[in-house]
Amino acid sequence: MKMKKFLRVLAFFMLACFAVCLTACDKDDDKDNGSGTGGYHMTAKIDGKSWASAGNQMILVDNKMGYLFISGAVNDDDDIITIQMFDFPGAAGSFSLGTDEYQTHCFYTSPEGVTFYVFPDEPDAFGVLVITDYKEKYIKGSFSFTAIDNSGENMIEVTDGSFHMPVYSVPK
């Protein structure tokens, strides 16, 4: 029961942060202006079906607190992939999802509103986040994970995840 309440509070917090950050985005940010930071995207396959954020993607980094938040959505309310790291080292690398190392978690909320998650205390849920290019203005990488819903009976597989997104840094 505590896990369900925690997930609801965490989901609300994530959606609130996501909404605030999206309102700060400018559609022109998606265009390549010669700086090499254009062409932003977040894509994946969910149980073999193609998924792509509809311009609703962002990365929030707080290097002082060691926090990384990656999220993309098909629309504002659901069909959202979120990856969080609470002990981010501030560099490119490969990070296991759902482990205590780097305190990583990830979520997928389906169009039907069902949340699937990867947490350290769920042995059947696991994944990997690979950050290939970490710059001040953008981050590129890939991800994949197998997640489980609150009932513990349903699982999804997210494969071929890819992202290239602008970074919104928390002021120091």
The structural domains of the chain, with segments of one domain joined by +, span 2-25+41-169
Report pLDDT for 19.
39
Choice between 20 and 70, residue whose per-residue pLDDT is larger = 70
Q: Which residues contact 94 (CB under 8 A, 6 or more apart)?
A: 128, 129, 130, 131
Closest-CA residue to 142 (of 78, 84, 95, 101):
95
- Mean pLDDT (the chain) is 79
Q: How far is 91 from 105, CA to CA, in rounded Å? A: 18
The least confident of 6-15, 92-101, 156-165 is: 6-15
Inform me whether the pLDDT recorded for 51 exceeds 80.
yes
Residue 43 vs residue 32, higher pLDDT: 43
Global pTM reads: 0.77
pLDDT value at residue 41: 93
- Cβ atoms within 10 Å, residue 139: 20
Q: What is the mean pLDDT of residues 31-35?
A: 39
Q: What is the DSSP string of 137-149?
A: SEEEEEEEEEEEE
**Mean pLDDT value of segment 31-36:** 39
The angle at the Cα of 110, spanning 107 to 114, to the nearest 5 degrees, equals: 80
Of 6-10, 64-68, 148-152, 159-163, which one has max mean pLDDT? 159-163
Q: Which residues of 39-64 are buried (b: 16+ CB within 10 A; e: fewer)?
A: ebebbbebeeeebebebbbbbbbbee
Nearest Cα residue to 159 out of 81, 41, 42, 47: 47
Residue 76 CA to residue 55 CA, distance in Å, equals 11
User: Residue 31 pLDDT > 80, yes or no?
Assistant: no
pLDDT in tens, 82-112: 999 998 998 999 999 988 888 888 999 999 8
